[in-house]
Amino acid sequence: MTRPRGSDGGDPAGNSRTDDCGVDVCAPEAHDPGSPGDRGDGRAPGRCPAAQGGDALRPTDEERLARVALSAVVEPGDPVVGGWVAQHGPVEAWRDLQDGRRDGSVSRRRWEGLRHRAGRTDPRASLAEAAACGGRFVAPGDPEWPSQLDDLGAAAPVGLWVRGTASLRLLAVRSVAVVGARACTDYGAWVATDLARSLAARGWTVASGAAYGVDGAAHQGALRGGGQTVAVLASGVDTGYPAGHAGLLERVRAQGLMVSELPPGGHPTRHRFLQRNRLLAALTRGTVVVEAAPRSGALATARRAAALGRHVMGVPGSVLSAQSDGVHQLLRGGAHLVSRAEEVIELVGAMGELADVAGTTDPRDLLTEPAGRVLGAVPPGGAAAVEQIAADAGCGVAGAQAVLLELCALGYVERSGESWSLRR
């Protein structure tokens, strides 16, 4: 498999390639030139795919065409076929498939399925179809290829179909997935919109799955925040799913990107939704689950993200709401609790991008011990003599007197004659 190393976000041509899985391959890389961040922390070096074969950094036309064809043949996230393609390289794999030379790693039954599909695949037609709707194919090695997808190993996509003007790589560098239930509550939609809007306003790309409910609200929030958003689809980029979100997807395309593993005309299936979730998890730095019932697909995205070493975050809800049950389980399982965009950025952003702690501390809490007790002994309404206050606070009269003077200077109490009262 071709593994261009777009390390440090520069021109991939500057990197050398080795055939084995050497230092180059497994070195932690910073995907974001702008924010060094704690990106590499959660990723085990061994997770890097065992890339072999493939010499060119930029895919050749032949290789690109082969990948286009394979994207129509290989089911998204198939590790066996993916490994086979990676081993032989896309060009040879496609040629073998056309000529019927079966590789030992692929079972006979699956091979027949692949052959059947290969016979009905016309890569040039797919490209033409994509071009007709303003789409394009992005292959590993392209400057636009988001290299964090290599974390998926053998399950990495053979290529991505993209619609929109922005660069996928640049958008994905600072991106967060905001996902959740389709049948969300008003609360979920509200939170997703607000969170996405704040993230977008702070320059973060919001990626989601364009489904009804939380996903749609997240896209809408990002669009309203004037930011960019990426819709990762389980169907072809030409149509988009669901049909009811056609208008939304059109705005996403204009202000961000539509991304899919499937060639134009691809239909969503249950399996493809799950594989879409893996892509969403791998593409982004972290996944925020806003609302999810215990069996929600959003939790699948979160599990994928956790397995890939990405940050997993959850927005809590009411404990009476079944729509938040899944999120609460996720949080109990060690996900981070987030309630605002700043808290999300604190996790996925660069070092030092810390969120303010909500709520200010009461300066009274900082008073040292006798002072706190004496202040508490001053009656809330009315006044008291220092002897009374000293008795209530359990300290000597002289000590109480000194503390009261100090508190007076700090503006907590005031004196009228011999008695002290709280200052309003």
Residues of this chain that interact with another protein (CB under 8 A) are: 181-183, 185-187, 190-191, 193-194, 197, 212-213, 220-221, 224, 294, 319-323, 325
Compute the distance between CA of residue 254 and CA of residue 246 in angstroms, rounded to an integer.
Answer: 12
Of 173 and 315, the one with the shorter C-beta distance to another protein is 315
What is the SS3 assignment for 101? coil
Least distance from C-beta 262 to another protein, angstroms?
Answer: 21
How far from 98 is each of 93, 115, 196, 305, 397, CA to CA, in Å?
9, 7, 45, 35, 98
CB-nearer residue toward another protein: 220 or 235: 220
Calculate the dihedral angle through the C-alpha atoms of 302, 303, 309, 313, rounding to the nearest 10 degrees: 30
The DSSP secondary structure of 240-292, one letter per residue, reads -SSGGGHHHHHHHHHHSEEEESSPTTPPP-HHHHHHHHHHHHHHSSEEEE---
Identify which of residues 126 and 296 has a Cβ nearer to another protein in the complex.
296
- Paired sense of beta strands 413-416 and 419-422, if any: antiparallel
In the complex with another protein, which residue's Cβ is closer, 159 or 240?
240
Residues 6+ apart with CB under 8 A from 145: 4, 6, 138, 139, 160, 168, 169
121 versus 208: smaller Cβ distance to another protein: 208
Place of tokens 């809408």: 220
- H or E, element range at 412: none
Q: Phi/psi of residue 66, each to 5°?
A: -65, -40
Q: Which is nearer to another protein, 59 or 297 (CB)?
A: 297
Instruction: Of 71, 63, 316, give the one whose Cα is nearest residue 187.
Output: 316
Q: How far is the CB of 294 from another protein (least distance, A)?
A: 8
Q: Report the C-alpha gap between 35 and 85 in whole angstroms.
A: 34
Least distance (Å) from another protein to the CB of residue 250? 17
Residue (150 or 291) nearer to another protein, CB: 291
- With respect to another protein, which residue has the nearer C-beta, 136 or 224? 224
| Closest C-alpha among 119, 129, 128, 54 to residue 92 | 54
